[in-house]
Amino acid sequence: MPISFELTDNSIRAREHFNRIAQEQMRPLSREADTGEHHLPQPWVDFWWNEGRKGAPGNPGEPGDGFVTVCIQAEELCWGDAGLYLRMPTAALGGSAVGAAGTDEQKKKFMAPFRESPHPVWGAMAITEPGAGSDSAAIETTADFDEETEEWVLNGTKIFCTAGEGASQVEGGFVVVWATIDASAGRGGIKSFVVPAKTPGMELVGLEKKMGIRASDTATLRFENCRVPRENLLGSAEVKGKKKKPGGDKGFKGAMATFDASRPIVAAMAVGVGRASLDFLKEELERQGVEIRYDAPLHALTAIERDVIEMEAELQGARLLTWRSAQMMGQGKPNNLEASMAKAKAGLAVTQITQKAVEILGPLGQSKKLLVEKWMRDAKINDIFEGTQQINQLIVARRILDYSSSLLR
């Protein structure tokens, strides 16, 4: 059966729409937002909430094509500015977690402000801790059930929480917090809880100073006797076959399914940043009279020509893997392997492409008069968050070889 790599008319219109936003709204703010870390880019936030999010063509809910369009949006907007993309008022990863593991009632309740609020709101997910990064089984934040009040009581600290400031401080938003209800059960005891913004006991204790994506807020959140209702648990409270308290029908696996949706988006973000660097490099080379001869034999190409052609191939490979995993997600097909392949490929490709662009351009590439050095700084996080390069390669190996996590570590 032949495979088509042609976009639908809906996706093409979406690409053009989001590219205009990237050019007209994001690029002009890019340098200012980068140097003004921890300052809310209000013009961009207001634009997205009032106009940008409502003007997208097509229906993102369409089977298959809809999620590809989500990834096209991520690519185009990160071509504009990855930090501003992450600062958009959206449900983001928190919303993905609710969608993956929440009940219909939970989805309706927690997602309503993102449709109805008169002011911008944010969602976030809090997983990483000072002692628990890629190994989710090492999570130490606890959630204890209070039988008398029928509330979950959260205690612990979360770091590197993207959009954590907005999600924890602005009414209508929420943070999805991963915590253990039974430390002896390892991963089986890890559950996720929706903590609405301004909940007593959830404290914003710091914002990271970062190398890249500086326009985004990356927060440290502390939970001290933070109480949420029983129904704020996403999924089941069952551990090792015994129920602690009633919950939904999905537990840790349901929460982990969040990454099958988020990894293609992160891969698309990487493609967007890589494309920004490559586009500028090709424009600058053309301006200087350097021609890329695509029809010349390999031995006749200059070093720069070979580099540019290789960069283009790596970028296109990452994009096609991303679209493939996105289409599977949109069609309801398991895409755990494909999502990790796309994420691993794109994270590596964007790191290499942006570094090579700076290298080829020399002093011009390092100058802050241009955005090339910024794109190199923005690139690396795509190889780290939503599962590091090493973790995603490990997942790919496990899926291909059919090995469990205990057999291949």
Secondary structure element (H or E) that encloses residue 123, with its range: strand 123-126
Residue 168 Cα distances to 173, 244, 286, 289, 352, angstroms: 7, 28, 47, 51, 35
* Length of the chain measured in residues: 409
Q: Residue 144 pairs with which residues in a beta bridge?
A: 153
**152 SS3 class:** strand
Question: Which tokens go with 240?
Answer: 């090792």
CA nearest to 197, candidates 224, 217, 226 = 226
End-to-end Cα distance, the chain? 36
Question: Which tokens go with 380?
Answer: 């690396």
240 HSE (CA, 13 A, CB side): 8
Q: How many Å separate Cα 219 from the centre of its chain?
A: 15
Q: Are 101 and 232 in contact (CB under 8 A)?
A: no
Q: Is 314 a catalytic residue?
A: no
Q: At a CB cut-off of 8 Å and minimum separation 6, what does 278 contact?
A: 308, 311, 312, 315, 353, 357
DSSP 319: H
DSSP per position, 34-49? HHTTTS--HHHHHHHH
Question: For 193, phi and psi rounded to 5 degrees?
Answer: -130, 140
Residues serving a catalytic function are 386
